[in-house]
Structure 1
Amino acid sequence: MKHAVFVDGQEGTTGLRIHEYLASRADIEVLRIDPDKRKDAAERARLLNAADVAFLCLPDAAAVEAAALITNPNTCLIDASTAHRTVPGWAFGLPELAAGQREQLRASKRIANPGCHASAFILLMRPLVDAGLVPAALPVSATSLTGYSGGGKKMIEQYQAGGDVKLESPRPYALGLAHKHIPEMMTHTGLTTKPVFVPVVGNFYKGLSVTIPLHRAQLAPGATAERLHAAFAEHYAGEPFVRVMPLNDPATMEGGFFDVQGCNDTNRVDLFVFANGEQVLLMARLDNLGKGASGAAVQSMNVHLGVEENLGL
């Protein structure tokens, strides 16, 4: 039996990558819209309601409108936009989040795909808050370094055109301290204080790393680097797409530099703890187009359909 899948927004970066993941799947029948009907609401509604699973790869407002087109109670909707990530009734598409998350994804017909920065941040912070090692009220700061593909087609074209010297160096952005991923970063970690979040886009296509610096004095008593690392190992034991790297990872320390692109072309997240006696760096890296977007969406689809979670990934 084949599952019918439709991607609304199939020409965008995330939509194209989802199609790549699905191309070799014998269990999937991809429904496609004619190019001249991409803005035809009736045709989109027909395909959305004909699908067992529909992906929304659209801007927020358009995603809300598309969700309203679905009248078939059997269609599972996976929204890659920001629109529904903290909305009650929508399951959060991060199977590794906590115990019971996969059951929610299997049962839900509405799944909100996490943001790329948020995925890395949440996977670092949730186990530590749950374990009581990081106080929920702690004012955390984080920096995320990402490739330019996360900015979508326009930014990709801008970087690949070349000739603009300003694009040769890293560019911090969201300087108004209101990045759109912050609400989900709080909701799905249990943090009660808004983090200071600094995203930075660099002159490379894809790859992302989030760094969270901590002082031991900020943490719960006894929250040593070893205990932080052990909390990751326990929380993610058996997870197929999360790799907890050795404490003070010798390979990284020997090289002296962190490889932001080390998870590219995978659906994997690598988690690191670097520490001395008084300070700690938590780091996570992923492919912003893989586990940070399209790969995560396909993973959630696999969980929902009850097939092998790593199928096609």
Structure 2
Amino acid sequence: MTYAVFVDGQEGTTGLRIHEYLAARQDVEVLRIDADKRKDPAERARLLNAADVAFLCLPDAASREAAAMISNPRTCLIDASTAHRTVPGWAFGLPELCKSQREAIRTAKRIANPGCHASAFILALRPLVDAGLLAPEALVSATSITGYSGGGKGMIGEYEAGGNTKLLSPRPYALGLAHKHLPEMMAHTGLKTAPVFMPIVGNFYKGLAVTVPLHLSQLRAGTQAEQVQQALAAHYEGERFIRVMPLRDADTLAEGFFDVQGCNDTNRVDLFVFGSETQILVMARLDNLGKGASGAAVQAMNVHLGLEESLGLV
């Protein structure tokens, strides 16, 4: 069977990468909009309603506008914006979230693609909350370092133009403590309070790692680093795209530095636990353009259509 797929916002970073994923597939017919009609509401509506699956790679307001254009009950929307990630009636497009999530994605016609920072944070902490090791009331913080492609075409152009020495060093941002991923980070971990979240953009194209530092005293009494790593391993047992690394991963410790780009060009997430007698670091690594954006969207499409989940992904 061949599925008609339309990417609304096909010229953006996420849209272009989705096209790359779909280009080699024989089961997909990609519907394209003429360059001079990209802002024509009637033409966009026609293509959205002609698609079995439509990806929205648009700013939030434009995604809401596009969603309102759908009149075909068969069209499944997968929205890569922030607009619908905590909206009732939209399935969260993270199949590994919990045991029931794949069925939610399969049956939904509205799927919200997770944010890149949020995916890493949620995958690192949701198992600890579900296992009762971390209380929903816990107050946590997180740091995320990401490549500049996460900022879209404008930031990519700024970095690749060269000449601005300020871009040579890492740049913390979202200093107003109101990052747009915070609502989904709370909603899909079960945490009752938003984490203190510090994202940092670095002078490299792609790759992302979220680090959550915890005192063992914040966890269920008696919990050690071993139980944290085991909870992650149990939660993700059998998952194609989640790799839980050994406790205090020897290769990482031998190198002395963490490789933020170690999952680049894959749809994989690597989870790490490093610990002492009193503290732990829980770390999640992914490609911010892969599992953090376009790869996750294609994975959600595969799940929704009942196809092999890894089709077209690595």
Instruction: Tell me the TM-score normalized by structure 1.
Output: 1.00
Offset, 1:193: 1.2
Cα displacement (A) at 1:27: 0.3
Task: Please report how far the alpha carbon of residue 222 of structure 1 lies from its aligned counterpart in structure 2 after TM superposition.
Answer: 2.1
Q: In the alignment, what sits opposite 1:72?
A: 72
Distance 2:194 2:187 in 1: 10
1:94 aligned residue: 94
- SS at the partner of 2:44? helix
Secondary structure of 2:114 counterpart: coil
Instruction: Find the aligned partners of 2:103 and 2:160 in 1 and give their Cα distance.
Output: 42
Deviation at 1:194, TM superposition (A): 1.3
Partner of 2:176: 176
Give 4+ residue runs of structure 1 displaced > 3 Å after superposition: none
The Cα shift of 1:218 comes to 1.1
Query: Where does the alignment leave 5 or more consecutive residues of structure 1 unmatched?
Result: none
Match of 1:153 in 2: 153
Per-residue deviation, 1:250 = 0.2
Separation of aligned partners in 2, 1:77 and 1:8:
10
Alpha-carbon distance in 1 for matches of 2:46, 2:268: 35
Q: Which letter maps to 2:296?
A: A
Aligned letter for 2:293? A
Partner amino acid for 1:310?
S
* Distance in 2 (alpha carbons) for counterparts of 1:25 and 1:110: 23
1:233 maps onto 2:233 in alignment: yes
Deviation, 1:277, is: 0.3
Unmatched segments (≥5 aa) in structure 2: none
User: For 1:178 and 1:272, how far apart are their aligned partners in 2?
Assistant: 27
Q: Distance in 2 between matches of 1:223 and 1:58?
A: 43
Measure the CA separation in 2 of the matches of 1:270 and 1:99: 19
The equivalent residue for 2:189 is: 189
Q: Which residue of 2 aligns with 1:44?
A: 44
- Paired with 1:99 and 1:295, the residues of 2 have a C-alpha distance of 20
Q: Secondary structure at 1:5's aligned position in 2?
A: strand
**1:135 CA drift (Å):** 0.9
What is the number of equivalent residue pairs in this alignment?
313
Distance in 2 of aligned mates of 1:198 and 1:47: 39
Worse-superposed segment, 212-221 or 262-271: 212-221
Q: Which residue of 2 aligns with 1:113?
A: 113
Aligned ranges 1:294-313 → 2 under 5 Å: 294-313=294-313
- In structure 1, the residue corresponding to 2:30 is in which secondary structure? strand
AA matched with 1:138 = A
Partner residue in 1 for 2:253: 253
Partners of 2:246 and 2:160 lie apart in 1 by 36
Distance in 2, matches of 1:280 and 1:213, equals 6
Mapped partners of 1:174, 1:256: distance in 2: 28
TM-score normalised over the length of structure 2: 0.99
- Residue 282 of structure 2 corresponds to 282
* Percent sequence identity over aligned pairs: 77
Q: RMSD of the alignment, in Å?
A: 0.4
Match of 2:134 in 1: 134
Map of 2:53 onto structure 1: 53
Query: Deviation string for 1:121-158 (max 9, x for gaps)?
Result: 00001000011101111110000000000000000000
Partners of 2:224 and 2:78 in 1: CA distance? 39
Deviations 1:169-190 (CA, angstroms, capped at 9, x unpaired)? 0000000000000000000000
What does residue 26 of structure 2 align with? 26
Q: Tell me if 1:204 matches 2:204.
A: yes
**Which has the higher mean CA deviation after the structures are superposed, 140-149 or 223-232?**
223-232
Letter in 2 for 1:115: G
Q: 1:38: Cα distance to partner? A: 0.1
Specify the SS of the correspondent of 2:24.
coil
